Each structure stands twice: as C-alpha cells, then as structure tokens.
Amino acid sequence: MGDVQTDERRSGDSPRGVAVSEYCERFAESFSGHGAVEYQARTASAAKRPDVAMWITNAFQPSNARFTSVCDCRFRARNREGHVREFTVGLFLTGTVEFARYTQWKELQTVPIEYVMDTANGRAGYGVFKYLRSP
C-alpha cells in the first residue's frame, strides 16, 4: 500500500488519505488490543501541537526528512483492574513515506502507515506514532 501512495505522489496526483481523527481512533483501538486494555469507544481525539519545535527540528533535516505536522492523539482505556486511564501518543506527519518508515517507533506503530490529512489545520503527511504518555 505504501508503494502505491509513493507512486501516486510521483505521478502528481494527491494521495488519498484518512482524516487525522480517524487515524487516531484506529490507533487507539489497535493499541488497546495489543496492550491488554479496553478502549473506551469514541474517546479518541487529536489536537495539533505548536509548530515551533517542529520548525526547529526541520531546520536541521534534509528536505526529504521533514515533519509536516505534530498532533497529540488522546484516548481513554480501562485496565484489568477496571480503572479508566487517559493515554496520549504523539502523531507525527512526515513528507515522505520513506522518512515515515525510518522514523517510526515500531513498538507503537500498531496500525499501517497511511497518508493522513489534518484538514482543520491545512496539513497532511504520512502518519507515524512516537512516544506514549499515560497518567
């Protein structure tokens, strides 16, 4: 699937993408299944992070290794003891699928890398998950 998206970009067509909120929801469902916690349906949300840190990081990267946006993906899940906890994972959008594959955290990438569109903020890129926080 990634090769098809890369070929679409080369041909000048815009890749078809999934909404950032839907990608976050898919991650929450998949992560919960892998993490032995019960995802609380429809609690996933995404919030764009400030661009300052991304701009600084991108300033030291080659043009084919840049981030296009950074979001926090938040969701709630119930653990084995029955306590509901909130989780936050970083969703990073990259300019190329090759950079996405290189920079992903494999232990967190429980869903396939896809082209993700954040239409509310006018951003898009290949989605990878990094860092995980929970209370």
Q: What is the pLDDT along the chain (135 residues), one digit of tens a residue?
A: 343 333 334 444 557 899 999 999 999 999 888 877 899 999 999 999 999 989 999 999 998 999 999 999 999 999 888 899 999 999 999 999 999 999 999 988 999 999 999 999 999 999 999 988 875
CA separation for the pair 15, 7 (Å, rounded):
9
Nearest partner of 92 among 58, 123, 69, 122, judged by Cα: 69
Domain ranges for the chain, please list them: 16-133
Distance in angstroms (rounded) separating the CA atoms of residues 22 and 120: 13
Give the global pTM: 0.83
